[in-house]
């Protein structure tokens, strides 16, 4: 490890065949591979989480097209910086393109339209909300997926081969949890751990020291995972806000998928709060949407906001209980005949058979099948 470049840069794939993951883009039938084979590559927007390969893929495309590559970040780039190199017809990689305001994005349009640049924008945000429509219409949006365990395992193997170390199973699991699908983060932590450790095999303590995080006893597929989410839901159900926030914090600190947590909150909003406070479902869906758009670390604030709201909300399971009581009867009795008065009558024959006869929009009579006449599911 005598090179000054970071390990993540040293091991950066140079060709499509070197790329780990994103098979839907770079595999045999991947859109990027097919486009490069034709020689025509349109401007593109890469949408994906950190460390999923957006920069790497942009560099590979530029190399394959034999075009000059410029890498910019929208955080500290001015349009003038891009315009100065546009005459070279380069590949312009603009990281965090969502940070360009509408006026700045507008100024990119003529360069993209004329082909002065091949723009590859990268964003972790949903481009439908963050990139102007004219620019989207002139680009192809490609979605990069978070790297899964299979991909992270292969990347770890490459890293260990380079640093001439091995890693025990528990340490590798912890490394994957910290990386959270981010190849760059994984290799950075691995490099630090390998540099600091004198041992041949890296352990949990080495990864903890490198990441400056303690390993929590939380297996996403194990008992503690289900114990924690159960405690989380039951704390909100009991309107115990402090406990709910604590169990939320445990899950977040352990790297739990924020969308998993948010999905449970959406379910909770209807199951436990229901008609007592219908806006709970709106809030829970907004939290899910926020988590989907921005991810960690910022979305933990959205989760906390939602948890406090749901915990403090009045609880009412009547809609939930009523539905499942009705479902029990469906399972018990099957498809009972629907009363003629509320059947659809699109033909004369059906009308002649009495379909829809005597129907009134507002009636106090039971509209349930005869076998269930007078049955009450919802009691309020």
| Cα–Cα dist 275/249, whole Å | 28
- pLDDT confidence of residue 129: 83
Q: How many CB atoms lie within 10 A of CB 378?
A: 12
pLDDT in tens, 73-125: 999 999 999 999 998 899 999 999 999 999 999 999 999 999 999 999 999 88
Nearest to 211, CA basis, from 196, 225, 226, 233: 196
- pLDDT confidence of residue 203: 94
22-143 — its CATH code? 3.40.50.300
- pLDDT confidence of residue 358: 77
pLDDT in tens, 27-70: 999 999 999 999 899 999 999 988 999 999 999 999 999 999 99
pLDDT in tens, 293-334: 888 889 999 999 999 999 999 999 999 999 999 999 999 999
Segment among 133-142, 230-239, 356-365 with least mean pLDDT: 356-365
Please list, in sequence order, all residues whose beta carbon lies within 8 angstroms of the beta carbon of residue 238, skipping any fewer than 6 positions away: none
Tell me if the domain spanning 223-312 has CATH number 3.40.50.20. no
351-358 contacts, C-beta under 8 A, 24 or more apart = none
Band (pLDDT 50/70/90 cuts) for residue 346 is confident
Q: Encode 98-146 in three state secondary structure.
A: HHCCHHHHHHHHHHHHHCCCEEEEEECCCHHHHCCHHHHHCCEEEECCC
- pLDDT confidence of residue 4: 78
Band (pLDDT 50/70/90 cuts) for residue 350 is confident
Band (pLDDT 50/70/90 cuts) for residue 222 is low
- pLDDT confidence of residue 216: 56
pLDDT in tens, 166-204: 999 999 988 988 888 899 999 999 999 999 999 999 999
CA distance to 43, 84, 97, 227, per residue, from 80 (Å): 19, 6, 15, 55
pTM: 0.63
Written as six digits, the tokens of 238 are: 């009991």
- pLDDT confidence of residue 219: 52
| Cα–Cα dist 70/57, whole Å | 13
CATH class of the region 149-211: mainly alpha
Band (pLDDT 50/70/90 cuts) for residue 72 is very high
Ordered by start, the domain boundaries in the chain are 22-143, 149-211, 223-312, 331-372
DSSP for 297-340?
Answer: TTHHHHHHHHHHHHHHS----HHHHHHHHHHHHHHHH-SPPPPG
Written as six digits, the tokens of 180 are: 């959270």
Written as six digits, the tokens of 71 are: 């890498």
């Amino acid at each position: 490890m005598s090179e000054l470049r970071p390990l993540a840069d040293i091991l950066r794939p140079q060709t499509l065949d070197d790329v780990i993951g994103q098979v839907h883009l770079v595999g045999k039938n991947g859109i990027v591979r097919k486009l490069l084979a034709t020689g025509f590559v349109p401007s593109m927007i890469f949408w994906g989480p950190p460390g999923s390969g957006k920069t790497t893929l942009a560099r590979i495309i530029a190399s394959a097209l034999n075009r000059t590559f410029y890498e910019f970040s929208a955080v500290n780039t001015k349009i003038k910086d891009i315009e100065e190199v546009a005459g070279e017809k380069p590949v312009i990689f603009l990281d965090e393109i969502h940070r360009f305001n509408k006026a700045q994005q507008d100024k990119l349009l003529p360069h993209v339209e004329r082909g002065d640049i091949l723009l590859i924008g990268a964003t972790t945000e949903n481009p439908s909300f963050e990139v102007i429509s004219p620019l989207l219409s002139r680009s192809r949006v490609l979605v990069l997926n978070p790297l899964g365990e299979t991909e992270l395992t292969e990347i770890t193997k490459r890293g260990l081969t380079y640093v001439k170390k091995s890693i025990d199973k528990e340490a590798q699991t912890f490394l994957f949890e910290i990386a959270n699908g981010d190849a760059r983060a994984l290799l950075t932590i691995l490099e630090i751990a390998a540099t600091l450790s004198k041992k041949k095999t890296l352990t949990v303590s080495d990864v903890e020291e490198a990441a400056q995080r303690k390993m929590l006893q939380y297996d996403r597929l194990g008992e503690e995972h289900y114990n924690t989410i159960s405690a989380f839901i039951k704390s909100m159900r009991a309107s115990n806000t402090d406990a709910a926030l604590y169990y939320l914090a445990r899950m977040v600190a352990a790297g739990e998928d924020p969308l998993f947590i948010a999905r449970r909150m959406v379910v909770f909003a209807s199951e436990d709060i229901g008609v007592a406070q219908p806006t709970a479902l709106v809030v829970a869906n907004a939290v899910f949407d926020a988590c989907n758009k921005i991810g960690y670390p910022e979305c933990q604030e959205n989760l906390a906001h939602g948890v406090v709201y749901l915990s403090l909300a009045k609880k009412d399971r009547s809609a939930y209980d009523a539905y499942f009581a009705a479902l029990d009867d469906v399972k018990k009795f099957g498809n009972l005949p629907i009363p003629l008065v509320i059947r659809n009558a699109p033909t004369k024959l059906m009308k002649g058979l009495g379909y829809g006869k005597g129907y009134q929009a507002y009636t106090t009579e039971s509209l349930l099948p005869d076998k269930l006449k007078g049955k009450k599911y919802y009691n309020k």
